[in-house]
Structure 1
Amino acid sequence: MAGQGPPFTLGVETHDGLAALVRAIRAEEDGKQLRKELARDMREALKPGAAEAKSQIMSMSSAGLPTSPALRSSIARKIRPEVKLGGRWSGARVKAFKTKNVRGFPNAPKRTNRAGGWRHPVFGSREVWVQQRGKVDWFDRSFQGHEAQYKAAVEAAMENMARRIAERAR
Structure 2
Amino acid sequence: MMTGGGPPFNLGVETHEGLAALTRAIRAEADGKQLRKELAKSMREALKPGAAEAKSSIMSMSSAGLNTAPALRSSVARKIRPEVKLGGRWSGARVKAFKTRNVRNFPNAPKRLNRPGGWRHPAFGNREIWVQQHGKVDWFDRAFEGREGVYKAAVEAAMENMARRIADRAG
TMscore range, shorter length: over 0.9
**Change in 2 beyond 3 A, CA 1:138/1:146:** same
One-letter code of the match for 1:155? E
**Structure 1 contact 75–99 (Cα < 8 Å) conserved:** yes
* Partner SS state of residue 93, structure 1: strand
Distance across 1 between alignment mates of 2:166 and 2:69: 50
Structure 1 CA distance for aligned equivalents of residues 97 and 7 of structure 2:
7
Aligned to 2:19: 18
Residues 114 and 136 in structure 1, CA contact (< 8 A), matched pair in contact too = yes
Amino acid at match of 2:89: R
Counterpart for residue 9 of structure 1: 7
The equivalent residue for 2:167 is 166
Distance 1:35 1:12 in 2: 21
Alpha-carbon RMSD across the aligned residues, in angstroms, is 1.6
TM-score, length of structure 1 as denominator length: 0.93
- 2:128 match: secondary structure: coil
Identity of aligned residues (%): 79
Q: Whole-Å Cα distance in 1 between the matches of residues 6 and 130 of structure 2?
A: 26
Q: Tell me the alpha carbon deviations over residues 27-70 of structure 1, each in whole angstroms, 9 at most, x when there is no partner.
A: 00000000000000000000000000000000010115351111
Q: Which residue of 2 aligns with 1:131?
A: 132
Q: CA deviation at 1:10?
A: 2.3
Aligned partner of 2:117 in structure 1 is: 116
- Structure 1 pair 49–137 and aligned structure 2 pair: CA distance change class (3 A): same
Q: Distance in 2 between matches of 1:11 and 1:30?
A: 31
Task: Tell me the matched-pair count.
Answer: 168
Specify the SS of the correspondent of 2:83: strand
Q: In structure 2, how many angstroms separate the alpha carbons of the residues matched to 1:78 and 1:141?
A: 17
* TM-score (structure 2 length as normaliser): 0.93
* C-alpha distance in structure 2 between counterparts of 1:111 and 1:165, whole Å: 43
**Contact 1:47/1:80, CA 8 A, preserved across alignment:** yes
SS, match of residue 62 in structure 1: coil
Secondary structure (helix, strand or coil) at the match of 1:35 reads helix
**Mean Cα deviation higher: 132-141 or 56-65:** 56-65
The amino acid that maps onto 1:39 is A
How many Å apart are 1:78 and its aligned residue? 0.4
2:40 corresponds to which letter in structure 1? A
Question: Which residue identity does 1:47 align to in structure 2?
Answer: K
2:104 aligns with 103
User: What are structure 1's unaligned runs of at least 5 residues?
Assistant: none
Q: Secondary structure at the match of 1:55?
A: helix
Cα distance, 1:98–1:11 mapped onto 2, change above 3 Å? same
Specify whether residues 55 and 112 from structure 1 end up closer, same or farther in structure 2 by C-alpha distance, changes over 3 A only.
same
Query: Could you list the runs of 5+ residues in structure 2 that have no partner in the other structure?
Result: none
Question: Which runs of structure 2 are paired with 1:1-170 in the superposition (5 Å)?
Answer: 6=4, 9-13=7-11, 15-65=16-66, 67-170=68-171
One-letter amino acid of the structure 1 residue matched with residue 93 of structure 2: A
